[in-house]
Every structure is written in C-alpha cells, then in structure tokens.
Structure 1
Amino acid sequence: MEQSSYMTPSNKKIELMTLSSNYHIEVNPCDVGIYDRVVIQELIKGVAQTHQLDLQGLRDFKVIVVMDADRLTKDAQHALRRTMEKYIATCRIILCASSMSRVIPAILSRCLAVRVPAPSKETIISVIKSVCEREKFELPAELIDRIAEKSDRNMRRALLMTQTFFIDRTNTPTADSPVQLPDWLVFLQGVSDLMVAEQTPRQIGIIREKLYELIIHGIPTELIFKHLVDEVVEKCDMQLKTQVVAAAALYEHRLHHGNKAIMHLEAFVAKFMSIYKKFMEDMMHDMF
C-alpha cells in the first residue's frame, strides 16, 4: 500500500492510495472525484512506461486493476478507452464493476466480460466458520446462519457483522444474540421513518441534511438510493408500492446520468412524500 500523487491541469495536487506488487497495481480512481480522468491517464502511462530491474521476473505485460469502473465519470471512461488502445502492448487492464450498464459501450466492446455472482448463503456460512476457526473464536451455528441471512449476500458485510461479536468480549455470543446492522443502514431506517411520519417542506430540509451526512461519510449514492427505496416500500400498502417503484426507477435513471446526486435523492424523497400524502388523504376521504 502506497500513496501516489498526481497533478491536475489546474496545478492542483491530488493524492491517492494504491496497492501494488511487482506485477500489478490496484487503484480506485473514484476516490478523487471529478479528477479521476487525470489518475487514469497518468497512472496507466506511468505503469506502462516503467520497466522492472529484475529481468528474471519480467513478464510480457503488467496488470492494472481499476476498482468501481462503473462509477468513473464519462470523461474518465473515454480517457480510459484511448489509453487502453495506446498501451495494449505493455498493459492489461482489469475493470471491476457492479453494473455494466454504467460502463460506456466503447469500453465494453474492448473487454471480455466475466460475471461473478454474489456468494450464496452457504458460501458465506462456510467462510464465517473458517474465519472463526482461525481466530479461535466460537459462534453458535444459529447465530452464523442469521448473520449470513442479514448480510444480503454481501461477504464484506457478513465479516464486519462477525467482527462486532469478536470485538465485544464483554458478552458471550449466544444463538439469540442480536445481529448488529451497519450504522449507515440503521441511519437510513430513521430517514425512511421521517418520510412516512410527516410530509412537509420542513421535513424535506431535515432529510436533506441527513442524506448529505451519509454522502459526506463516503456511502455510495447508489447504495443510499437502493436501501432507501427498500425501506419505504416495506412501509407502504400494496396499492401504493407500484407508484413508489415507478418513481424510484425514474429518479434512479436520472441519478446515473446527472452530476449532483443529492438533487435526485431529494427529488425522490419529495415525490414519495407527495404520493404518500395523497394516498393517506384519499383513504381518509373514503372512510368518512
């Protein structure tokens, strides 16, 4: 793990953490926001033009792993496409993405797509048991099963949930011990409660501040939107769910094509409040 520095066209210095070995380098350009294009161009150019001193270990090409490729700006993706073509003789680039729909066709046509499914519940249980054995830490089988269930097929989340029991040595884990969800998920549950409790401009302002807080703490806006929709849909009547999901599809599409994520998140909140308030008023009217 090392820190790399890059200079933008406006002479602004940006720094980024990279993970590297003799044969590869792993980087997440999204960590620098709108300057990801500079990282893409300078990093690949630097890696492609440098040579190893150890000729015995020299390979025909080097490997660059770009994480969250689907979150790159359009400028960065176009720069990546041009850079891939220019240094194809000395570099091989692996792009890791959660959604291929957010990667431009020009890059998709130059790559071999390999779909990696999310781990199954059984796989997560097996990994948790293996980790517990290595750490000499015992967890009841029922508790491990509930951790795997609540992880939503997310291995990292499952291991973090397991770690909370390992850190808290004051209480011995039992089959009935509560599984602690990530703080940001609990925070989002509170946001959804606010959306249902009151539908006013003042409430929208309060929710906006809470959404800003999540974004500032580095929670991806796609995750915020997805889990916020899941939470509010659970609180809706079956008759209302169709309208909410349709509105969510519209604003998620705009979220992917816009620049200011908070605007589209707030727009969905306002739309949901409008739909929910009208639904409740119609119900009250029918009752009386």
Structure 2
Amino acid sequence: MSLWVDKHRPRSLDKLVVHSRQAKQLKKLVSAGDCPHLLFYGPSGAGKKTLCLATLRELFGPGAEKLKTEQKTWQIQLPTRKIEVELATVSSNYHLELSPSEAGRRDVHVVQEVIKEMAKTKSSNAMFQEQSNMFGAAKGQQGSQEKKKGEAPKSVKCTYKVLLINEVDRLTSHAQHALRRTMEKYSKQCRLVMTCTNLSKVIDPVQSRCVCVRVKAPKQGEMKSLVAQVAEKERLTLPETLAERIAEGSNRSMRRALLMLETCKINRYPFEENQEIQLPEWELFIKEIAQSILKEQTPKSLFQVREMLYKLLVNCVPADLIFAKLAQELMCKLDDELKYEIVKMAATFEHRLRLGTKPIIHLEAFVAKFMSSYKEWSIRIFG
C-alpha cells in the first residue's frame, strides 16, 4: 500500500493548483517541441518531484508512469583499478531517475561513466513510431468509445531520453563539472531534469545551461486546503483545528504535512481537535542531543553525543540536515549574544563537511566547539 504522499500526487500539469503558474510555463516549453535542460529548485517538500513527473507525462504521455525500480551495480574501470558503484534507479521506456550523490565521493565516476553511457545511447525512434501507430489504430477502431472514456493517448514525438537527477546540489564540485561536460556533449540525445534544495550550491556553468524553475513552498492556507482535500479523498472527517495545527507544524512542506496526517490517522481515528501530532523520530532524537549538549559540557558528554550522532547517520539522516536542525534546537535555548556565533560556527563546519569525506568528524567538531564556547559564556555570565 502506497503512502498518501505518492497516492495523491497530481499526475499532470493541468491538475497542479499550488504551482499553476510554473505548470503553464512548462507546458509552453514542452509544446515548443524541444524541451531544454531543466533545474527545479526550492525547499524540501515544496513539490519539485511532482513538477518533474508531471513534465515527463506531458512529454511522453502515460507511458512515463510505467516505472521499474531496481538496484543496479556498475563496474567502472579507472586507470589504476576497477570499482563498483551500486545505486537505486527508477526507469521507464523514456527516462531514468537516479541520485548520484548517494555514491558519496564516487559521484564523479557516476557522472563521468554511468550517466555518460546512458546519455550517449540514442532513443529508439522505431519504438516511438510503433506506439504512435498503435494509438492511432486504436483511435480509428474505437472511435466514439474513446470520446466517452477521455482523450486518446498522446503520441510520443520526442526522440531524446530524459535523465532525472535528484539532489544535484549535493554533488561534489568535480562531479558537477563533469555533469556540465555531459550536458554539452550529449544534448541532442539526452535532456537533463534536475532537482536541488539550495541553488547556491550548484555551480554557475550548470545553472547557465538550464532553465531554472523556482518551486516555492506553499503558504499555510494552501497547506491547510491540501490536508483537507486529501482527508476528503480518504473519506475522513478532519476537524478544522487539527488541520490548522498540521499546517503549522509542517513547516510549509507538503510531504511532511501528509505524513503527519497519515500518522494521526494511524494513531487515532476518529480525529480529535486536541489530538497530539507526532513528530518524526529523528527530530525528537536531535532534540535529545541538544538537551544533552546544554546539560553538560565534558569529554564524557561529548563521547555520548558522538554515539547518538552515529545513530542518526547510520539511519540515513543527511549530515547537513543534522547540522541545520541541531543548530536550530541549540539556538532556542541561547542568549542573543551567542546566536550569531553559533550560526557562523555551524556554517563553517557544514562547509568543511562538503569538502571532507566523513560527516561524523565535522559534526563532532561542531559539538566540541559549541561546548567550549557555551562553557566560556556560562562561566563569564554566572561565574
């Protein structure tokens, strides 16, 4: 059974309500016949993936929704050795989706070898023509039946592939430069559709070769309306007060709001207006880490915090997200005098994290530096 996030995702550009302006612009680009490289940027849960999938459907028709998920292993021959890179991919007959950043420091090899190999393989025009003929024959035979059922499937005119690359801002600078070369060399056979959260972390040469589409986070009123619509589709009676609380606690993330609604349904139904909204476990765990840091600033406490940070990393919580959430939780308990220093400190160690290979080292260094600064401030203020 699929999550409500995927179950109620709009499938076409016409059905997008929150980002209707972006949907109209994308329809114009697609109707022009030669869609350029696209880069969707915006906060997590704003709807970047929904826009990507709706654009693919606009390009290729319903066939783009027939997906196959698999775990692929590529063997890449380097000058001195041979390495294996394993990545999860989602593909259809017309596109392939992957996240090279999951390969860590090997992402440059994924871009140079794997994506290059896929990009230089031309699409089969015969397959597209065969589908067009099939749809045309079906239309001629069925005639009026298609008008009752709806519009006939759109023939596929695109002769290029689409590579959907997630989290391009998390790629290393070497991988992004390799991506730029791939975009230039194989632009006739392949179009890239990319998503990122922080546009400033994408190098200018990649940005300049794409049409950048800003996907802003929905407003709180739109979030409340979205939650109410999903509850109605699931035939649930949702109190207005609870819908408002979910919209406030979602931080303007549609994914987070729907997950919170689904969690509330699992915990208790019928809903109650004062029902507790459960936060994700990793957020509660970070709050516990922040309390441990503020409670005691000793080597023993630092060692315990290190173990807790390891648990977060092992459970695939991104290190940059840990930085942001931990700094936010710590600043809630700090005096204004320390807040600026902590933000600067977190930004410095997060930058070092992008240049390094082991996140735990930079997370622990940030915690140790914070403990030192906080203890000095406490001694100076309270004696």
User: Same fold by TM-score, threshold 0.5 exceeded?
Assistant: yes
Residues 246, 47 of structure 1: CA spacing in aligned structure 2 closer, same or farther, 3 A cutoff? closer
Q: Give the structure 1 partner of residue 379 of structure 2.
A: 281
Out of 141, 151, 157, which is 2:240 matched to? 141
Confirm whether residue 124 of structure 1 aligns to residue 223 of structure 2.
yes
Q: Give the structure 2 partner of residue 15 of structure 1.
A: 86
* Counterparts of residues 24-43 of structure 1 (less than 5 Å): 24-40=95-111, 41-43=113-115
CA distance in 2, matches of 1:117, 1:98: 11
Where does the alignment leave 5 or more consecutive residues of structure 2 unmatched?
1-67, 130-155
CA distance in 2, matches of 1:26, 1:120: 29
Shift of the alpha carbon at 1:272? 1.1
Confirm whether residue 249 of structure 1 aligns to residue 347 of structure 2.
yes
Encode CA deviations 1:5-57: one digit per residue, 9 max, x unaligned.
31133444333222223332221112232332333232342254143342323
* Counterparts of residues 164-179 of structure 1 (less than 5 Å): 164-169=263-268, 171-179=269-277
Where does the alignment leave 5 or more consecutive residues of structure 1 unmatched?
none
Name the amino acid aligned to 1:19: V
Whether the 8 Å CA contact 1:70–1:100 is kept in 2: the answer is yes
* Counterparts of residues 1-288 of structure 1 (less than 5 Å): 1-3=68-70, 4-9=72-77, 10-40=81-111, 41-52=113-124, 53-56=126-129, 57-169=156-268, 171-285=269-383
Deviates further, 25-34 or 39-48: 39-48
Shift of the alpha carbon at 1:184? 0.3
CA distance in 1, matches of 2:184, 2:341: 45
Query: What is the TM-score with the length of structure 1 in the denominator?
Result: 0.91
CA distance in 2, matches of 1:246, 1:31: 27
Whether the 8 Å CA contact 1:188–1:228 is kept in 2: the answer is yes
CA distance in 2, matches of 1:11, 1:139: 56
CA RMSD for the aligned pairs?
Answer: 1.8
Aligned-pair identity (%): 40
Shift of the alpha carbon at 1:176? 0.4
Aligned length: 284
Name the amino acid aligned to 2:181: R
Shift of the alpha carbon at 1:239? 2.5
Give the secondary-structure state (helix, strand or coil) at the position aligned to 2:212.
Answer: coil
Shift of the alpha carbon at 1:71? 0.7
CA distance in 1, matches of 2:305, 2:168: 30
Name the amino acid aligned to 2:76: T
Give the secondary-structure state (helix, strand or coil) at the position aligned to 2:216.
Answer: coil
Whether the 8 Å CA contact 1:8–1:35 is kept in 2: the answer is no
Shift of the alpha carbon at 1:122? 1.6
Whether the 8 Å CA contact 2:122–2:160 is kept in 1: the answer is no
Give the secondary-structure state (helix, strand or coil) at the position aligned to 1:16.
Answer: strand
Give the secondary-structure state (helix, strand or coil) at the position aligned to 1:54.
Answer: helix
Give the secondary-structure state (helix, strand or coil) at the position aligned to 1:49.
Answer: coil
Greater relative contact order structure (CA < 8 Å, 6+ sep): 2
CA distance in 1, matches of 2:218, 2:244: 14
CA distance in 2, matches of 1:247, 1:55: 54
CA distance in 1, matches of 2:356, 2:105: 13
Deviates further, 206-215 or 19-28: 19-28
CA distance in 1, matches of 2:340, 2:237: 44
